[in-house]
């Protein structure tokens, strides 16, 4: 099976309504309907509706940065995957390292969120990645295997689940992982997915961590890299569209 490329922009907690609309409109305008790769924008939750309006009718899809594991209830401040789907999301990111670190989410919680996303009909982007201390201790492969085993739902399929490899030390630091490090991590994630899941070998695996227009071409050409999860560079339409263009090869 040929795996299509996917470029997702994770805006994190940035932008106000007017900036978000303008950025989304510029991305929609610059990414033509028929052209691969798939492109997703993940704005902060209150911007999902205005960004959805700005990209309506374009080839750009809407995604959220997180969801709750339950479908409704007394969870002040949280947003359910069902509501995300209801307001037009096709994707949801779960288990981003900022959620794992700053909000103490463990693999079991990440898997429960991913399961909620799947149940709501969303495509889930499950993030995994080692810290610098884990890499320096030679634990990278073990950490990635554990996160894949415990964060990716057993019911995950290639059509509804994407894994994002995001080495924590490369996120927002300008320190991009080397092509050899990325290739090694992606191939170990793919082996683990293939071992655990029927469709694991066909699943898209994105790289994230300081992806910029000048390194995107090399990273996206690696055999097991099926796209990118872009933080900082997704806040600038020109940079983001240059990464999208690099994914066309
Ligand atoms: P960055 O963020 O591109 O700013 O490093 C990536 C991410 O956290 O998804």
- For 103-132, the pLDDT digits (tens) are 999 999 999 999 999 999 999 999 999 999
Residue 225: what are its φ and ψ, rounded to 5°?
-100, 115
Report d(CA 80, CA 85) in Å as an integer.
Answer: 9
Q: What pLDDT was estimated at residue 174?
A: 86
Q: Residues 7-41: pLDDT tens digits?
A: 999 999 999 999 999 999 999 999 976 668 999 99
Residue 220 Cα to ligand 1 middle (Å) = 15
Mutate which of 208, 229, 234 for ligand 1 pocket (most atoms within 8 A of beta carbon): 208
pLDDT at 1 over 70: no
Q: What pLDDT was estimated at residue 57?
A: 93
Long-range contacts of 221-226 (CB under 8 A, 24+ apart): 221/249, 222/179, 222/182, 222/183, 222/186, 223/183, 223/187, 224/183, 224/186, 224/187, 224/189, 224/190, 225/182, 225/183, 225/186, 226/3, 226/4, 226/5, 226/6, 226/162
pLDDT at 55 over 90: yes
Residue 164 Cα to ligand 1 middle (Å) = 11
Query: 83 CB less than 6 Å from ligand 1?
Result: no
Q: What pLDDT was estimated at residue 32?
A: 77
Query: 168 CB less than 6 Å from ligand 1?
Result: no
Catalytic residues: 96, 166
Q: What pLDDT was estimated at residue 73?
A: 97
pLDDT at 249 over 90: no
Average pLDDT on 236-240 reads: 98
Report d(CA 212, CA 96) in Å as an integer.
Answer: 19
Q: What pLDDT was estimated at residue 34?
A: 64
| Helix, strand and coil in the chain, % to nearest 5 | 45, 15, 35
Under 8 Å between Cβ of 216 and 228? yes
Closest ligand 1 atom number to CA of residue 232: 4
Q: What pLDDT was estimated at residue 165?
A: 98
Q: Can you read off the two tokens belonging to residue 170?
A: 């490369």
Pairing of strands 6-10, 38-42: parallel
Environment class of 210 (CB within 10 Å of its CB; exposed 0-12, middle 13-18, buried 19+): buried
Mutate which of 101, 232, 239 for ligand 1 pocket (most atoms within 8 A of beta carbon): 232
Q: Residues 157-200: pLDDT tens digits?
A: 999 999 999 999 999 888 889 999 999 999 999 999 999 999 88
Query: What's the mean per-residue pLDDT of the chain?
Result: 96
Pairing of strands 161-165, 123-128: parallel
Q: Which amino acid residue places its CA nearest to atom 1 of ligand 1?
A: 231
Q: Residues 85-107: pLDDT tens digits?
A: 999 999 999 999 999 999 999 99
Residue 168 Cα to ligand 1 middle (Å) = 9
Going by C-beta distance under 8 Å and a sequence separation of 6 or more, which residues neighbour residue 236? none
Query: 211 CB less than 6 Å from ligand 1?
Result: yes
Residue 46 Cα to ligand 1 middle (Å) = 20
Q: What pLDDT was estimated at residue 54?
A: 98
Query: 215 CB less than 6 Å from ligand 1?
Result: no
Q: What pLDDT was estimated at residue 176?
A: 87
Q: What pLDDT was estimated at residue 199?
A: 87
> pLDDT confidence of 245, banded at 50, 70, 90?
very high
Average pLDDT on 66-90 reads: 98
Alpha helices by DSSP H, the chain: 17-30, 48-55, 81-86, 97-102, 107-119, 132-136, 140-151, 179-196, 213-220, 237-248
């Amino acid at each position: 099976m040929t795996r299509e490329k996917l470029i997702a922009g994770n805006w994190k907690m940035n932008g106000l309504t007017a900036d978000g609309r303008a950025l989304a409109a510029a991305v929609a305008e610059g990414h033509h309907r028929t052209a691969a790769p798939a492109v997703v924008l993940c704005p902060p939750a209150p911007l999902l509706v205005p960004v959805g309006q700005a990209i309506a009718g374009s080839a750009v899809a809407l995604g959220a940065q997180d969801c709750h594991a339950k479908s409704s209830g007394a969870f002040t401040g949280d947003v359910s995957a069902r509501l995300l789907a209801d307001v037009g999301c096709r994707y949801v990111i779960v288990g981003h390292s900022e959620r794992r670190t700053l909000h103490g989410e463990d693999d079991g919680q990440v898997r429960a969120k991913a399961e909620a996303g799947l149940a709501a009909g969303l495509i889930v982007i499950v993030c995994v990645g080692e810290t610098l201390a884990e890499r320096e201790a030679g634990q990278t492969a073990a950490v990635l295997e554990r996160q894949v085993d415990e964060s990716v739902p057993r019911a995950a399929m290639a059509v509804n689940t994407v894994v994002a490899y995001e080495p924590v030390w490369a996120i927002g630091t300008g320190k991009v992982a080397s092509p050899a490090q990325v290739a090694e991590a992606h191939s170990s994630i793919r082996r683990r997915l293939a071992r655990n899941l029927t469709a694991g070998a066909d699943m898209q695996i994105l790289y994230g961590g300081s992806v910029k227009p000048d390194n995107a071409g090399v990273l996206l050409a690696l055999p097991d890299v099926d796209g990118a999860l872009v933080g900082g560079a997704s806040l600038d339409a020109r940079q983001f569209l240059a990464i999208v263009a690099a994914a066309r090869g």
